[in-house]
Amino acid sequence: MDWSKQIGRYIVVMALQVLLFNQLQLAGVCHPYVYILCLLMLPPTLPPIAEMVIGAAAGLLMDAFCNSLGIHMAACVLIMLLRPYLIGRMVNDKDRLTEEISIHALGFEAMLRYTVIMVVVHHLAVFLMASWNWSHIGFALIETVVSSLLTILIILGYNLVKYK
């Protein structure tokens, strides 16, 4: 497993997240959190505890940029808990997988399902915690749908370009 590649990609994606995606203000409902691409695509060889700690660290850094201390951390830890189970359900022989999770490793359909579940769970958690008010729940759901769509498209697009 190539760690320098994973870290290099994280730095690039995080820079794009902060410089580009955080600046989007499309009618107030579109906040794609593309930085979780790096968490989604981590190789499946790590122990689950390490995955959750990595998720917590990535979420905490994102929180620093969003003034939302704890919210991204909670959401990232949640999806990192789900990750091994999801991957286990998507492929029959999980131990065979050593490369990073991608369209190449899972195939298009499984990768699509995996990405949709992870992104929607993460975005829903973030927007619900950020609104923290039942009267805004409808708005948080709209935000989740719009932002998740964009994030999913970007993550799959990146995969298609990289592994075409």
- Binders of another protein among residues 144 to 163 (CB under 8 A) are none
Query: What burial class does residue 149 get, using C-beta atoms within 10 Å of its C-beta: 0-12 exposed, 13-18 middle, 19+ buried?
Result: middle
Based on the shown chain and the rule CB under 8 A, indicate whether residue 92 belongs to the binding site for another protein: no
Question: How many CA atoms does the CB half-sphere of 91 hold within 13 Å?
Answer: 19
Task: Kindly compute the dihedral angle of the four CA atoms of residues 64, 69, 71, 77, in this order, to the nearest 10 degrees.
Answer: 70
CA–CA gap between residue 101 and residue 140 (Å, rounded): 29
Applying CB under 8 A, among 73, 120, 146, 152 the residue interacting with another protein is 73
Whose Cβ is closer to another protein: residue 139's or residue 158's?
139
Task: Looking at residues 7 to 66 of the shown chain, list those that interact with another protein (rule: CB under 8 A).
Answer: 18-19, 23, 25, 27-29, 31, 48-49, 52-53, 56, 59-60, 63-65
In terms of residues, how long is the chain?
A: 164
Nearer to another protein, 8 or 48 (CB): 48
- DSSP-derived letter for residue 12 is H
Positions touching another protein (CB under 8 A) are: 18-19, 23, 25, 27-29, 31, 48-49, 52-53, 56, 59-60, 63-65, 67-71, 73-74, 77-78, 81, 129-133, 136, 139
